[in-house]
Amino acid sequence: MNARNILNADLHCHSVVSDGTLTPEALAERARRNGVELWALTDHDEVGGQHRAAAAARAQGMAYLSGAEISVTFAGETVHIVGLGFDPDNQALQQGLAHTRGGRSERAREMAQGLAQVGIAGAYEGALQFVGNPDLISRTHFARFLVEAGVCQDMHEVFRRFLTEGKPGYVPHRWATLGNAVRWICEAGGVAVIAHPARYKFTANEEYALFAEFKAHGGRAVEVVTGSHTAQEYVKYAETAREFGLAASRGSDFHSPDESHTDLGTLPYLPGALQPVWELLEDRIQ
């Protein structure tokens, strides 16, 4: 496949293997129906869905890149690094991801304790009902439980009232280092991408440090068009991509038909002047 002809690439979404609600097969079908030409499933800290996703894409006649979204702690803040086009069977990558996932269960129990202190009982067991992969309990599963229990109207309210810094269900966690995440991806033959940069609460200096260090570690791309960015942020991060000599990625960050406001394959195309990250990965497209 000639990567230069691809416009509708969607290289960021989640399945039941992390905190999405659809199977890899259902996502592949939905992506294809929405006109996606090149797809990647990027579950959090986990590559367990990759062979299923690649097979489902093939069955849909849609091109595929392997993917994962790695949780990183940088300057005291959680940053997400997407890896694309790596070998999902790479041992060092799999071990690094297993290490990054480790501690999620204990963190979840502490989150439930915090919630119990404000009168919300049984949140750990409640969240577990929504978990597809016992290794990957996340804040999203707690949010689904609190909505179902009628404590909050929607997921955003849960995060605002209970699951963000300073709130009763928030437990700080130390994830992978930036250097390790980029290294795991690169050494497995992939390209590292800074996910949704506008989401991080960084000062201008901290953001500059993130991009500079990411690049120094071998990172090569940044998400410019994502479901997490406004149109003004597309413009801002297109400029940042040019400034740092990074390629650009595009992805909906779709999690669920009931929760996500951006569906697979429905975002605007990348601004024309940028190099699409999939052009760096032409030989990794399946």
Contact predicate 239/271, CB 8 Å: no
Q: Which of 12, 30, 101, 139 binds ligand AMP (CB under 6 A)?
A: 139
Pairing of strands 63-64, 67-74: unpaired
Q: How many angstroms from the chain centroid is the CA of residue 97?
A: 13
- 159 touching ligand AMP, by CB under 6 A: yes
List the one residue from 10, 19, 46, 223 that touches ligand AMP (CB under 6 A).
19
Q: Of Mn ion, ligand AMP, none, which one sits near residue 156, judging by CB under 5 to 8 A according to partner kind?
A: ligand AMP
Q: Which of 156, 153, 160, 152 is nearest to 123 (CA)?
A: 152
Looking only at the bridges linking them, the beta strands covering 191-194 and 221-226 are parallel
- Which of 63, 93, 120, 155 forms a contact with ligand AMP (CB under 6 A)? 155
Only segment of 22-30, 87-95, 138-146, 261-269 that touches ligand AMP (CB under 6 A): 138-146
- CB-based contact 24:15 (threshold 8 Å): yes
Give dist(CA 207, CA 233) in Å, integer: 14
Residue 184 interacts with, from ligand AMP, Mn ion, none (CB under 5-8 Å by kind): none
How many Å apart are CA 143 and CA 224, to the nearest integer?
A: 27
For residues 247 and 221, the answer to whether their CB atoms sit within 8 Å is yes
Residue 71 engages ligand AMP in binding (rule: CB under 6 A): yes
Residue 58 near which of Mn ion, ligand AMP, none (CB within 5-8 Å, type-dependent): none
The residue within the footprint of ligand AMP, chosen from 100, 140, 240, 249 (CB under 6 A), is 140
Residue of minimal Cβ distance to Mn ion: 80
Q: Which residues bind ligand AMP (CB under 6 A)?
A: 19, 44, 71, 138-140, 155-156, 159, 255
